[in-house]
Structure 1
């Protein structure tokens, strides 16, 4: 084999790639063959073919470090930075090259602290002066002047250590873990930004005994404090600028116990895992169960014993190891007693506290969590990061965070989950990568720090003084400018341009608008990760305001226009139209939609974005330091003298609405077979389907994703027994009363009957996007077996449309053309005709005939 590799290297040196690929076909095992072919295609700059071979190699050998790195390299060059990061974290033995590329993935996603964190690791491992220089130059470029003091009581700093260390690459950071009053006072005086880790007795002491002194103060509230009204009601919340919650249920419980929190600025940032610390591999069911956590009544060990007893009765190999400290002596004694009485004492092992949780979990098959209360269970997440199946008792709000098929209510349900053959390590790891990574947590914290506390070390008067000295403030009143209030954004920009108002270059950090963070989140989720636009907070916000009449336009045209602007700015690297920002002179008034009245803008906002908030968000997302800005006094000519434009200040409204949006996003189901995406159907499509159905004269017909029955309802008049199927409920679809219908998810459930014809139109690509190609193919073939004629079309890789890029990109991973999509099913089909989508793309309707159907 060594001789074969040398011969391949010789061919590559001679640029004879055809011969090299021919030789590579002899490599064994198959995974290494595909890896080498991927390398050869990569050297020819054929990235799509290289990616295809690396993916095949990974499927055969999911934990091979070389394959993981090669796949990540190609994904990065194809600008799929999130997926590149995903596979890099899975590399077990990381070299400096791995950390360097990890840094590049983070910088490409504007996660500066994590980028510097990884560059630092790469510089430490590498002897190359270029790597060390790259790290030093990045530090110089991104270093910020703010000083952050993080205060935490001893023994409670587990969740903040990584955060403090990563943020220290950008800010000056001191982690103060002490009860020493003198140390606390000195660090407090030193800091520009104060971070209170936990809303506990330390937060009570600091907010009651120390003056605010112009500092920006954040408090992160974890879990147990939300159940301590004594703490919550003793904290001086008026001194705290923003509260960070780690879970939605913690936020809701805390507000129930402390009404004052309703009026505070708050944000939800889940805890994150450093996935590099957890070795992932494909695992399978087995007898070894684990739990990690303090041994007390909240962790509910009684239920764990009951489940273990049932399992041992089925197979005596089952055992449970519990890692943690004993905090409840009575519970510990009871468990020991009942284990003896049950005869399973040797099956339940207390192994004490484990600092190295990764090693403890290595030989485990299941993580059994029987807790009655969790924020969301960091230990559960650690096990999933290793590919271990979670079996989770339905603690309060567990269903809010975890998929329902990982949750049990009864002993029998837990036993069924453990003995089932359903085991998917890839899915468990991906959940953590997508939802709970340290990178995601740091990115969100960094955004909070930059957007909300970047001016922490100055009083508002000092800031305004600095703005007056640094920027030319334009007074529209002096130039006789009058603006139509109902269309003030467009008119502002036009009239300021006509008046040749001075254009300042203003740091993006100073430009504040409540909606900007939502837009940045949208870009990170939709552009960065390919999350459906309907599952973003910004979409939920736009939808909410449209339904309530605040915005005339629905979300889609707003998002579509915004993404055109994004593409233009990204392509040119420039913002040509200046932003308009109102200078806060201490008397800037805004409209609070919650109170339905005018209020004074908070002192922390020095420049309020009046027009161009999309451009500000794009600039921040793309890492632009400054943007062209008209800095304007809010004074215009009115019919009866001077007039100020009353901008809506959404922050109080968002504080109330965000929990609702989060719940909406969790429940939102994009595509699959919800027909609502197709509110109007092309007439050609109707005619093609109708002509075929009337020709074959079926007795029964099932319409998958029937929506309002536009395609199938009329067949009732021809005596066809029609059944509509949709994931949405009947009342939402507004179906005719005589239209037979069932609410059903074909991804998870079988149809209740067979049919002569099944319409499976414009659904497949949504299933592929939401559940993967294998699941989409499984649904297709299941439906094909249940009918004589399967009438089919799908969104395909040749389509376009910027805000549909999520599913289009996913299709392009598997197919190059629409025909290739049809052919891959391996079945004969014939073409009925073509129709056009609302975006102008052509789709072909075909029929797959099942000649074995009877």
Structure 2
């Protein structure tokens, strides 16, 4: 580039930084009149057009810059930013896929890739939730036996999306999600269409369906945790259900204990949860002073013990900080939480960060994950931290020893402090534990083997 054009570009960029966008644009356009293929001037002009609210012209400039120089990082990221700013999500994804091979790998590029993937997942989830009965597409990896599988789920859909997506590669899958109102006619439609209908959660939806609908397909129900402590299982017509799936052995035992009549009427099996390792950035880590707590703050999460554990650590070393990714669910415990932070002098040691969508990024600078729950069926927050190589400290809730390494379990505050201050910190071992015990491919294979035992007669 000629030196005089470089000087004019710098003048335009200075005007841009001062907020003089029309004057800056005039400068960039003057450069382009003499050098129409200058990618730097095109990128700068795109930014100016964007600030002036002219999205079409901005996109055109960024696109031209990338056509001239496909590896122009600034134009690449600026184009994606503008498309997302105006909710042009599909075009943003298309842009990333079209040019990403020419863009050097960097932390910024990986962040954009993660952000787009997360946004794509949210958009896909919203689509499924808004269209009960939506077909997920023709199987791309069909096996010897291809079934028609319908998934029925109420508002708590977080744990079913990955299973639906992965099984849709092997089978014909329809998703019947009901975020607000149950539609029994739609559920009957699912039963009439499918070979197998999967009910996610043993809740009111299964109760109503089992008592009021015609059983025209095999029925599977997956029970997570809270349902065992409700009356719902007692109200299910278990003749309607062919197989009950539990996510952990201790949940199966509790079900047998609380509902012995139901347990004798339905076959059951345990299929552990899966953790998608691709969503969590691993690196070797070590001890430090940043502690993480992830989840709602309610009585089951045991905030009393959490604050007592933190207090004992701070007595030993005031550098410890507890970062909380979550919100209060119980006003009584919120009052207690705030009071005890003041009473124990923890004001400078507790950082409330609200609800966090990108847990992978949020956990990046944390050294330990603390879980003080009195009961869990699994504990995704624990497994996700381990997938990143972060050491978990887990209160020994009923069933914890069947899920996580015993060396990470504590029964009281003294054991908590002992584990925390131990020199035993092995990031690779934590991630390998998740690989060995909660591989999502193993989970899908087990589910597949379970489902293909059913065929419509």
TM-score normalised to the size of structure 1?
0.36
The equivalent residue for 2:238 is: 237
Q: What's the RMSD between the two structures over aligned residues?
A: 2.0
Q: Which residue of 1 aligns with 2:229?
A: 227
Query: What does residue 409 of structure 2 align with?
Result: 407
Per-residue deviation, residues 103-144 of structure 1 (Å, max 9, x unmatched):
xxxxxxxxxxxxxxxxxxxxxxxxxxxxxxxxx999376385
Q: Within 2, Cα distance between the matches of 1:140 and 1:287? A: 46
Matching of residue 288 in structure 1 with residue 290 in structure 2: yes
* Cα 1:418/1:171, change in 2 over 3 Å: same
Residues 323, 353 of structure 2: 8 Å contact kept: yes
Give yes or no for contact 1:150–1:175 (8 Å, CA) kept in 2: yes
CA 421–294 in structure 1, closer or farther in 2 if over 3 Å, else same: same
C-alpha distance after superposition, 1:635-663 (max 9, x if no partner): xxxxxxxxxxxxxxxxxxxxxxxxxxxxx
Matched residue of 2:348: which SS?
helix
Q: Could you tell me how far apart the structure 2 residues matched to 1:286 and 1:169 are?
A: 42
Distance 1:374 1:157 in 2: 18
Contact 1:237 1:261 in 2 (8 A): no
C-alpha contact (below 8 Å) 2:247/2:272 kept by paired residues? yes
The answer for the alignment partner of 2:356 in structure 1 is: 354
1:161 is matched with which residue? 161
Give the drift of 1:167: 0.6
Map Cα deviations across residues 161-200 of structure 1 (whole Å, 9 max, x no partner).
0000111111111221113414333333322211000001
Tell me: higher relative CO, structure 1 or 2? Use CA pairs within 8 A at least 6 residues apart: 2
SS in 2 for 1:331: helix
Q: CA deviation at 1:332?
A: 1.1
Rounded Cα–Cα distance in structure 2 between residues aligned with 1:293 and 1:138:
35
Whether 1:262 and 2:294 are equivalent positions in the alignment is no
Q: Distance in 2 between matches of 1:319 and 1:141?
A: 50
**Preserved CA contact (<8 Å) 1:199 1:220:** yes
- Residues 1:141 and 1:287: Cα distance change in structure 2 (over 3 Å): closer
After superposition, what is the alpha-carbon deviation per residue over 1:78-101, rounded to whole angstroms, capped at 9, x for unaligned?
xxxxxxxxxxxxxxxx99xxxxxx
Deviation at 1:383, TM superposition (A): 0.5
Structure 2: distance between partners of 1:325 and 1:344: 18
- In the other structure, the counterpart of 2:375 is 373
What residue number does 2:153 align with? 152
Contact 1:336 1:345 in 2 (8 A): no
Matched residue, 2:211: 208
| Closer/same/farther in 2, CA of residues 137 and 347 from structure 1, 3 Å limit | closer
Does residue 336 of structure 1 match 2:338? Answer: yes
Work out the CA distance in 1 between the residues paired with 2:153 and 2:141.
29
Q: Per the alignment, in what secondary structure is the counterpart of residue 163 of structure 1?
A: helix
SS at 1:362's partner residue? helix
Distance in structure 2 (CA, Å) of the matches to 1:169 and 1:444 = 15
Q: How does 1:304-453 map to 2 (within 5 A)?
A: 304-450=306-452, 452-453=453-454
Q: Structure 1 stretches (4+) deviating beyond 4 angstroms?
A: none
Superposed, which structure 2 residues align to 1:534-545 within 5 Å?
A: none
Residue 198 of structure 1: aligned partner: 201
Q: Secondary structure at the match of 2:175?
A: strand
Structure possessing the higher radius of gyration over alpha carbons:
1
Q: State the SS of the aligned residue for 1:346.
A: coil
Mapping for residues 19-34 of structure 1, pairs under 5 Å = none
Separation in 1, partners of 2:312, 2:384? 26
Distance of aligned partners of 1:141 and 1:211 in 2 relative to their CA distance in 1, 3 Å threshold: closer
Distance 1:245 1:350 in 2: 34
C-alpha contact 2:138 2:172 (8 A) present in aligned 1: no
**TM-score normalized by the length of structure 2:** 0.67
Aligned-residue offset at 1:419: 1.5
Q: Counterpart of 2:264 in 1: which secondary structure?
A: helix
Local SS of the residue matching 1:195: strand
SS in 2 for 1:173: strand
> How many residue pairs get matched?
319
Partners in 2 of 1:343 and 1:386 — Cα distance?
A: 31
In the TM superposition, residue 428 of structure 1 has moved relative to its aligned partner by 0.4
- Corresponding residue for 2:9? none
1-side partners of 2:141 and 2:411: how far apart? 54
Q: Is the 8 A contact 1:311 1:318 kept in 2?
A: yes
Distance 1:138 1:157 in 2: 22
Which position in structure 2 is the counterpart of 1:128? Answer: none
1:492 match: none
Distance 1:312 1:250, change over 3 A: same
Aligned ranges for residues 91-170 of structure 1 at < 5 Å? Answer: 139=140, 142=143, 145-154=146-155, 156-170=156-170
Query: Following the alignment from structure 1 to structure 2, what is the Cα–Cα distance between the partners of residues 435 and 281?
Result: 20
Q: Secondary structure at the match of 2:432?
A: helix
Within-5 A mapping of 1:751-766: none
Contact 2:149 2:195 in 1 (8 A): yes
Q: 1:263 Cα deviation (Å)?
A: 3.7
Contact 1:167 1:173 in 2 (8 A): yes
For 1:175, the equivalent position in structure 2 comes to 175
Preserved CA contact (<8 Å) 1:143 1:169: no
Deviations 1:760-786 (A, max 9, x none): xxxxxxxxxxxxxxxxxxxxxxxxxxx
Match of 2:114 in 1: none
CA distance in 2, matches of 1:309, 1:409: 17
Match status 1:250 vs 2:251: yes
| Preserved CA contact (<8 Å) 2:291 2:320 | yes
Residues 195, 308 of structure 1: alpha-carbon distance in 2 compared, 3 angstrom cutoff: same
Q: Determine if contact 2:141/2:170 at 8 Å carries over to the other structure.
A: no
Residues 199 and 206, structure 2, Cα contact 8 Å, conserved in 1: yes
Equivalent-residue separation in structure 2 for 1:138 and 1:341 (angstroms): 59
1:43-58 → structure 2 map (5 Å cutoff): none
Q: Deviations along 1:4-45, whole A, 9 cap, x unmatched?
A: xxxxxxxxxxxxxxxxxxxxxxxxxxxxxxxxxxxxxxxxxx
